[in-house]
Chain A
Amino acid sequence: MIKKEGSFKYLEIKNISKNFGETFVLKNIHLDVFKGEFLCLLGPSGCGKTTLLRIISGLERQTNGDIVQDGLLISNSPTEKRDFGIVFQSYALFPNLNAKQNIAYGLENKKINKKEIEKRTNNLLRLVGLEKYSDQFPSQLSGGQQQRVALARAMALSPGLLLLDEPLSALDAQVRSKLRNEIKLIQKKLNLTTIMVTHDQTEALSMADRVVVMERGHIAQIGTPFELYENPITPFVADFIGKMNLLKGKYDKKNCVFYYLNNRFLISQNTEYSFLENCLLGIRPEDIEIIKFRKNIEKEENILRVKIKEITYLGTIFRLTVVLESKLEENIFVDVISNQVISNNLKIGDFIDIKLKKEKIKLFESNL
């Protein structure tokens, strides 16, 4: 586990489990969150990420396990005694209060004088860039503006922890990427420990200091976006973060060779894989090269002759779907920069040779 320089564990999640009757939603979750860190809980729907967030907030109660926040054991504290602010997917802005009143809602309950409330509310409005909209009701604000009001409201009591439950998923793509940067900036500026739930891997990779990938109630992997992308430890993580081709075959440990049908691939020797025989070979589409017009192919390693089944234009790149003649039903994806496809005049039905970059090949235990 990485521990950043000078930071300390702000939130410790210890062995948290949650079940509804017979069904497990969360199983033995261990997680440390550092002060000032932006952490993303990432996973497909139903993986338990939202439940974990709700348990941290106290809105849901864990079946087992403990939570320690800032040195205090809060496992059984009621929500209102915990120190956090939350933004829901639906924002849950009070429709009969305007932007300013929404933000001041929590402050007004504290014994703070009116002037102070006014000052703090205005500061928050400024922070999220909504000074001009203070008198507008939620229904008069755009989705992005509502989101910012919800964010400001959540930060009004200066919580030690900010919880974001899919805060951007209801917004359209452009607003979303703009807000991503803004939230990140505010979070860094205030050095506010933040946990965000999302199912959008781009969002997680672009915003988080560390990402927790969750799968069916447990943590699949924790790491920085870079680590997760470069060194996924399970095929699930590999295919959830970005795209990865997974080929099932046999691994000969002694010679560092992977056999796939009647093809053999050399695997980087510096990687130690403890498992044997049946396993999966993983390679990302961008780590496959096309070598159509190269000579002396026989001398090259890790070559496959494939047929182009489909060509999808994705802007700067084309994604080719290719298949082996001996196994037509297994698709392999290859990303090629657009120029190459155009200049080589690649068409559906063409046969090409592809090369799997040896140093980029990963092997995974196969549990299929």
Chain B
Amino acid sequence: MYFKKNFNKSFNILLLRILIIFVFILVSFFIIIPLLPLFLKSFSDNKNNFIGLENFINYIQNPSLTQSFINSLKVAITTTFFSVLIGFIYAYALTRTRLPLKKFFNTFSLFSLYIPPLAVAIGLIYIFGKQGLITQGFFGTIPGFDINLYGFNGIIIGEIFYCFPQALIILVSALNLSDQRLYEAAESLKASPLRKFLTITLPNIKYGLMNSIFICFILSFTDFGVPKVVGGNFNVLATDIYKQVVGQQNFAMGATISIYLLVPSILAFLIDKNFQKNEASLISGKSIPFKPRKNLIVDSIMFIFCSLILILVIGVFSSIVLASLIKIWPYDISLSLQNFRFSNVAGNGYEPYFNTVFMSIYTAIFGTIFVFFTAYLVEKFKPLKKIRMLIYFFSTLPIAIPGLVLGLSYILFFNKPSFSVPFLDFQIFNPFSLLYGTMGILVLANIIHFFTVCFISATTTLKQIDKEFEEVSESLKVPFYKTFLRITIPLSLPTILEIGSYYFVNSMITVSAIIFLYPAKIPVSSVSIVNMDDAGDTASAAAMSTLIVLTSLFVRLIYEFTSRNVSKKSSVWINPLET
């Protein structure tokens, strides 16, 4: 008979399995498991006695709390409608018309991505607030106009600022996938412009459209920053949670409201996921990109529309900067840097700012490594299919977990030194509790809070890299990790840089995930904006906002510069392969 060589299971496959299981444990402990104490809490009183649905019943019976739920829905639906509408028109102008100054409009449209929603709200105060530029008619030079900022109006305007660029990014990429040939075929069949729009354009972008609706809904339903600053007496779920937890130390009710916030988000997430499942590309690899024709009327209308949007965005940003530089608005409008001292506010000076910068740097570094490696293990290998599918599912989930809910669940999970096993008198040490009260927990919360977008972008890139590279390496007896370092990472470098900069910018501006989590000895700037604004020191809040925006923009510039260098270097091999 044949000499049977006794091959042990290959070391590489074993290593791979261990890594996949390791990553599975991490994502479970960082994403899913922390939600459990939150659920438990919502069924308990503040002394940890199980009380069943009592919290939920109390909630429904409290008219002011139920009003918040309705308010949140109102805000979310209105914001979603306008953000997607404006985002769509703007995206259409960028991709399907001969809009003049397209590059300029393209670059500056995303400007508000770098402004924390909190700062947007502060900017709005200086434009539309009681002493605002427009309300007072530019310090009384022209008749004023009051839009009644505090309350629903202010929240909607702020949220649209926040959500519009998110919708725009998705819709631009959806509209960019077009096939000139389809339009030419329709034209040869004498289809009207409306018919072409309804039968070609709309079906092609329906997944992008649905996705942008989902994103805008979740962001505006769960946002904390804008309603905190300009909400006035108009309560929403997010501000309620904050009040219950920070104001009244009522964790049980905070957890209960979190569930009310979480459930619609998860529902929207599942609807969107189910919808995207059917996605099949209508655009083939051979398609020819759409080339818009000149149309004076459409192009001019679009130009006016996009200009208006940009004027608003730049207006809000300028008012933040201006507010930070003016001594005492509106009484002494001479310029000074005194607001940048932060000395009279809680006495923390620049500490919160530098804490935030370091937190963002750590988030960018560790988040990028973790997210990319997770996506790589999920996307490129065959073993443990079910576990990889679960990792994938868990990784897409954080987008539906509101920052406040994540923060609250992290407190409840990470401050426990040990877990008790139900029905058994047995305690297990919680190693993650070591992170509690350190910068580590802030970094971790940020990594998870923004995980989904980064994960999807890493997965998309990895999908585009030929799966046969791994097979070739196997046939050449090169272990997978060498190919990962030598081939996969260099080919993904543009995306890796993009993820890093996304993590950095979002960690700079975020408030919701960390407001419950930051340890007293590590103050962070977005929280100090909230506190300064609460204390009525709006000018210092504006100054801190300005610092955050400028830092984000600076990092983004570094990113643009680096990625341009990278793409120059790699242009030799990025040219599409001739087949």
- List the interface of chain A (C-beta within 8 A of B): 57-59, 68, 71-74, 76-82, 84-86, 88, 90, 92, 94-97, 105-106, 109-110, 137-140, 142-143, 146, 153-154, 156-157, 170
Contact = CB atoms under 8 A, between A and B. Distances in A.
B475 A77 contact: no
A164 B169 CA distance: 43
A10 to B, nearest CB: 13
A139 B476 contact: no
Contacts of A81: 7, 10
A92 B466 contact: yes
B104 interface: no
Contacts of A84: 475
B429 interface: no
B570 interface: yes
A57 B475 contact: yes
B347 interface: no
Interface in B473-530: 473-479, 482, 486-487, 490-491
B478 A90 contact: no
Interface stretch (B257-265, B291-299, B571-579): B571-579
Question: Which residue of A71, A77, A92 has the most chain B CB atoms within 10 A of its CB atom?
Answer: A92
A260 to B, nearest CB: 45
Contact of A139 (B12, B471, B491, B573): B573
Interface string B462-473: 000010110111
Given A78-B13, A96-B490, A143 B578 contact: yes
Given A106-B477, A140-B572, A92 B472 contact: yes
Contact of B573 (A78, A96, A153): A96
B482 to A, nearest CB: 7
Contact of A88 (B468, B490, B491, B576): B468
Given A73-B2, A78-B13, A157-B476, A92 B572 contact: no
B490 A153 contact: no
B423 interface: no
Given A80-B10, A95-B491, A105-B476, A59 B471 contact: yes
A284 to B, nearest CB: 35
Chain B interface residue number, banded? 35 or more
A79 B473 CA distance: 10
Contacts of A143: 578-579
Contacts of A95: 491, 573-574, 577
A92 B478 contact: no
Contacts of B3: 71-73
B2 A68 contact: yes
B568 interface: no
Contacts of A59: 471, 474-475
B4 interface: yes
A68 B1 CA distance: 11
B491 A92 contact: no
A201 B7 CA distance: 38
A172 to B, nearest CB: 11
A12 to B, nearest CB: 9
B277 interface: no
A80 B471 contact: no
Interface string B127-166: 0000000000000000000000000000000000000000
30 contacts: A58-B474, A59-B474, A71-B3, A73-B2, A78-B10, A78-B12, A79-B471, A80-B10, A80-B12, A80-B474, A80-B475, A81-B7, A85-B475, A85-B476, A90-B466, A90-B468, A94-B487, A95-B574, A96-B491, A96-B573, A97-B486, A105-B473, A106-B478, A109-B478, A109-B482, A139-B572, A139-B573, A143-B579, A154-B475, A157-B476
B474 A79 contact: yes
B103 interface: no
Interface in B535-579: 570, 572-579
A173 B13 CA distance: 41
Contacts of B5: 72-74, 77
Given A59-B475, A138-B573, 19 more contacts: A71-B3, A72-B2, A73-B4, A78-B9, A78-B10, A79-B471, A79-B475, A80-B475, A85-B475, A86-B472, A90-B466, A90-B468, A95-B573, A106-B477, A109-B476, A109-B477, A109-B479, A139-B572, A139-B578
Contacts of A140: 572, 575
A71 B578 contact: no
B518 to A, nearest CB: 42
10 closest cross-chain pairs (CB), A and B = A106-B476, A92-B468, A78-B10, A139-B575, A95-B573, A79-B474, A109-B478, A137-B573, A73-B2, A86-B475
B516 to A, nearest CB: 44
A261 B406 CA distance: 81
B195 to A, nearest CB: 37
Contacts of B574: 95, 139
A13 to B, nearest CB: 14
Contacts of B466: 90, 92
B577 A105 contact: no
Nearest to A95: B573
Contacts of A157: 476-477
Nearest to B5: A72
Contacts of A142: 578
A77 B7 contact: yes
A143 B577 CA distance: 9
A110 B479 CA distance: 11
Contacts of A96: 487, 490-491, 570, 573
A81 B479 CA distance: 11
Contacts of B468: 88, 90, 92
Contacts of B9: 78
Contacts of A79: 471, 474-475
Contacts of B471: 57, 59, 79, 86, 88, 92
A68 B3 CA distance: 10
Contacts of A73: 2-5
A79 to B, nearest CB: 4
Contact of A76 (B7, B12, B474, B573): B7
A68 B2 CA distance: 8
A106 B476 CA distance: 5
Interface string B1-37: 0111101011011000000000000000000000000
Contacts of A76: 7
B491 to A, nearest CB: 6
Contacts of A82: 475
A116 B471 CA distance: 25
